[in-house]
Amino acid sequence: MAMMVVLVPAADAEPTLLPAAASKLTSLGVTSVALARDERTLALVVEGWAFEPDRSADAVVAAFAADGSSAHALHPIAELAVSSEGR
């Protein structure tokens, strides 16, 4: 499953995902969106089995930030599973 994180400056209002943006994400292969924030930054984690971040990064950023200049996309460089087995 592919993943990408989009960072945008946090606004005073709670983030919303408009139906048109959700539809666009679906068409890009995104099946899951998680949100996290602090006082300054909103992080959106998008994932999907058919999602291709290298091809779709600009479109994902545009779905969340109308003016893409304020957004920053992060691509994963490693993923691992951890386990307590073998202790």
State yes or no: pLDDT of 85 exceeds 90.
no
Higher pLDDT: 78 or 47? It is 47
Residue 66: per-residue pLDDT: 64
Residue 47: per-residue pLDDT: 95
Residue 61: per-residue pLDDT: 87
- As a whole number, the mean pLDDT across the chain is 87
Fold held by 2-73: Alpha-Beta Plaits (3.30.70)
pLDDT by residue (tens digit) across 38-59?
Answer: 989 989 999 999 999 989 988 8
Average pLDDT over residues 64-80: 79
Sheet hosting strand 72-74, strand order edge to edge: 32-37, 41-48, 2-9, 72-74
Non-local (6+) Cβ contacts of 61 within 8 A are 6, 68, 71, 73
